[in-house]
Amino acid sequence: MPLEDITGVVLAGGRGSRMGGVDKGLQNFNGMPLALHTLMRLSPQVGAAMINANRNLGAYESFGVPVWPDVLADYAGPLAGFLTALERCETPWLVTVPCDTPLFPQDFVARLAAGAAAQGAEIAMAAAREEDGQLRNQPVFCLLRVELLESLVQFTHDGGRKIDAWTGRHKTAIVPFDAPGDDPRAFYNANTLGELHRLEHP
């Protein structure tokens, strides 16, 4: 799958409730805003990039890529970011990453693309080992065919908000990221400022 066929979106549209309501994507991580760190990690892996954010839009626009607020009202969750990005995506595929998981793999998109191609899937979703040792799906880390927009519009219009409830309607390749050499912290997300600071130190 050519790089130029994939647009990446950094999901930074949440309320940041567990961080006390701060704008999570603008918190400092290794000397730069968390969402900018995530964008810089994603950009070499895709043909184009954008950010989904719902406040401080000027700050996000300073990162140099298009910024789009949710098309659904009231902080409707990550699926609202999927929907917003699919509506704006001009390539055959969209890949989604949350802003609060800054150590995701540098070959992340390539491995999802390979999984989708191998299984003829419409969606590829990452799976990773969590701290308890269990391999679990990571629904906010998805590669999606842009044609799925109509399906997602209908799902959200009917009140659906759970990513896996929607992806379960489509042929989905689950791509494990637990090979030897994979960083066990690659999919750890920072829900608090303390967790974010811990991720700064190996």
Residue 11 known to bind ligand: yes
Residue 178 known to bind ligand: no
Pair of tokens at residue 94? 């969209």
Is residue 196 within 8 Å of 99, Cβ to Cβ?
no
Pair of tokens at residue 13? 């549209």
Question: Across-strand partners of 29?
Answer: 32
Residue 54 known to bind ligand: no
Residue 199 known to bind ligand: no
Q: Of the candidates 141, 139, 118, 135, which has an alpha carbon nearest to the alpha carbon of residue 179?
A: 135
Provide the 8-state DSSP code for 91. Answer: S
Residue 5 known to bind ligand: no
Residue 171 known to bind ligand: no
Residue 52 known to bind ligand: yes
Provide the 8-state DSSP code for 129. Answer: E
Q: Is 182 helix (H, G, I), strand (E, B) or coil?
A: coil
Question: Across-strand partners of 141?
Answer: none
A 10 A CB-CB count for 76 gives 18
Which phi-psi region, left, alpha or beta, contains residue 20 (left: φ > 0; alpha: ψ -120 to 50)? Answer: left
Residue stretches of the annotated binding site for Mg(2+): 100
Residue stretches of the annotated binding site: 11-13, 24, 52, 70, 100
Residue stretches of the annotated binding site for GTP: 11-13, 24, 52, 70, 100
